Chains A and B, each alone.
Chain A
């Protein structure tokens, strides 16, 4: 493990991680994937460590180390306990910051300052420290104190408004997308800051608003309004240009679906052949992309007649075999058992002291020269408190026990 890490791009980079919930841990996990030592700071004194406390739990037995949510997004990190309501804990946090390259938080704006752990303070102990604060609305502006979570940020950025079935109400998009999205943009910003520091020696502070990281994903909608004064319309899975373009019912129980999207004339002809209706390619209703779009209801019916008698994987293989974009709509079991994801080494199964080996989503990229791998399962609560305080701050076992008794290290 040590050798493997030594060759990674962020080997030697230490992150002091005050993040919680999802956006922040998703951010720092990317750095752990790239080889950084991420030390996660938690406390049992804070009731809202949500990801350890909500289901799914391993085998439905509740427990802070048994939560899938926490264990997914904290892979490869260390964990220490530190009760930041105690002045001594703040002193310890500052002492740790002295050894950190990066300090990350995703509290509401101003919380780190109030704790005495704001950027100006951190800079006094570590002049070239890089700090990122990932808040809901940013550190400035009239809404700076507003509470942000993934779902409301997905509403506020216009994604709910623009998503939905044909002619229907604004939709809810199924996951708290704005959370991991803020996390990956945070990881990019930190990579930029680390590169900046490597080239200039300067550290810096990054103010990141979850709302704004989601808005940069909305150019098609925003610019339609800016350039053509039209709000986006809701058309289910249909595309403004491509047709056919939908999820179609497959054989089997009600919840089997297969997606098909056609973007070129070649693909259209291939589709007609594959579904045994080559004459459709010459059908006046479907002769051009524009006509297919205009007559997509009729087209969708024809395709459904074909898909609903076939297994979704059979349809996919037939269509992909002739170069048509198609794929089953994957459920969680499908993903966990997928041969492609397994062969690529994406699905990770590492030993965890309380839940054993469980499949997790791994690293969605590969690097040929510095192969990244998830190096260890998520830490149980406080797993590394003693090791970190001894090795970085020279604390003795007795002192650590004393600090546990006085509820500093809980």
Chain B
């Protein structure tokens, strides 16, 4: 890890505030390609420090896997933005920052000095990117929300699990923090667009990203089923096409799918041309979707004779888009991902080696790198505030004693 490695993006100074995933992930996207990110945490530390997962399940805010993943390549300082002295520290950072990215809820911004309009007036070149659950405007702007709220407000949960066999069970949130991650990646994308604009015009601006809207924009044909054909959708009902189901193999589960008719023909061959495949029930992909229960029952015996990996490879050789229901272990042990060097190993002080997901996109010029571990709480407060922004050491220790820095 070379902490001082420079890329064209090293010129971009980013200040990050807020809690948990959205702003931290957006800033991580920028940090990973070289931007200089300073993460401002409240004195109690970021919420992600308390989410784990932890080594050996032993809770420790310096060892949270989610925090580590989100905050490599950043320096970390502490400032309590609810106190005027904390806001003064933030002001020093913003004076020469290019980007401020945060996910402080709209109702709490004024009290923390994070009102977008006021910041843009005070720092005309600054790009102020805010991520929130419902956006900065509109009747729900001040409503509260967590990941579960976004999954439902955006309309995703209502569709999940698709073609559900469990009608009594409620709409289901997908694993993890997808609304938060989408808020982060959308924010990072638009922030770079604003930076491009600033290169041309010299002007900063405010960006307002709504997680609800990000999720609602990612639901395939959901909205148009209503606005084009007046059909309400839900997690109940049948598949648009088939086969499209999860099935048991001898040693695990596989996702069986054939989208195009040619793929189905090759699958029938792979199955040894069973007679039932010629039945009218399965004559085209739409019919196979409607008669999926029968199709799955007929395919099950054949599927159960295979090992997952063997069937995956044999199907894919014939360009049939099957995929394994991978476990985390399967992924860490994947030969394909290993050959592409997808996972990166981090030396995180106190944690030993951590294997993190790496590059989402491989650039042949822009350099993606892992330069430094995630910061301990307040690790760089002195280096940044005193060393680079002229705060006297005595003053910083006063603020520290007062619980502000």
Contacts and interface: CB of A to CB of B under 8 A. Distances in A.
Nearest to A13: B196
Contacts of B324: 155-156
B367 to A, nearest CB: 10
B144 A364 contact: no
Nearest to B220: A175
B185 interface: yes
Contact of A185 (B33, B316, B322, B360): B360
B265 interface: no
Interface residues of A, number: 158
A222 B331 contact: yes
Given A55-B240, A344-B135, 14 more contacts: A22-B220, A59-B228, A175-B220, A177-B174, A184-B185, A189-B361, A189-B363, A205-B363, A223-B53, A237-B148, A258-B152, A320-B140, A365-B187, A369-B204
Interface string A207-247: 11101110111111111111110111000110111100111
B240 A54 contact: yes
A188 interface: yes
Interface residues of B, number: 150
B8 interface: yes
Given A213-B360, A219-B356, A332-B232, A224 B328 contact: yes
Contacts of B229: 55-60, 68
A275 interface: no
B221 A241 contact: no
B328 A335 contact: no
A191 B192 contact: yes
Interface in A38-77: 48, 50, 54-60, 66, 68-69, 71-72
Contacts of B163: 172
Nearest to A140: B340
A141 B321 contact: no
A137 B181 CA distance: 21
Nearest to A234: B175
Query: Which among B33, B135, B213 has the greatest number of chain A C-beta atoms within 10 A?
Result: B213
Interface string A114-142: 00000000000000000010001110111
Contacts of B138: 340-341, 343-344
Contact of A365 (B153, B199, B210): B210
| Chain B at the A interface: SS class | mixed
Contacts of B3: none
Given A219-B65, A330-B153, A187 B189 contact: yes
B251 to A, nearest CB: 14
A392 interface: no
A48 B207 contact: no
Interface string B11-24: 10000000000000
Given A149-B259, A237-B148, A185 B213 contact: no
Contact of A50 (B210, B259, B327, B363): B259
Interface in A166-202: 168-177, 179-181, 184-189, 191-196, 198-200, 202
Interface string B325-342: 111111110011101101
Interface stretch (A85-93, A355-363, A383-391, A401-409): A355-363
Contacts of B159: 174-175
B218 interface: yes
Interface in B58-112: 63, 65-66, 68-70
A157 to B, nearest CB: 7
A240 B190 CA distance: 32
B213 A68 contact: no
B10 to A, nearest CB: 10
A175 B213 contact: no
A318 to B, nearest CB: 12
Interface in B216-235: 216-229, 231-235
Given A56-B228, A239-B148, A365-B210, A221 B195 contact: no
A361 B215 CA distance: 10
Contacts of A209: 340
Interface in B160-175: 160-163, 166-167, 169-175
A147 to B, nearest CB: 4
Contacts of B195: 195
A34 interface: yes
Contact of B207 (A68, A202, A367): A367
Nearest to B57: A228
B170 A246 contact: yes
Given A177-B174, A365-B207, A226 B339 contact: no
Nearest to A165: B169
Contacts of A331: 155, 158, 232-234
Contacts of A207: 361-362, 364
A-B residue pairs, 8 tightest by C-beta:
A68-B224, A174-B160, A369-B205, A223-B65, A152-B323, A364-B213, A225-B328, A204-B365
* A68, A172, A176, A208: most-surrounded residue (chain B CB, <10 A): A172
Contact of A142 (B169, B178, B206, B336): B336
Given A172-B162, A217-B181, A327-B145, A332 B361 contact: no
A227 B55 contact: yes
A257 B171 contact: yes
B267 interface: no
Given A219-B65, A323-B144, A184 B56 contact: no
Contacts of B376: none
B361 A257 contact: no
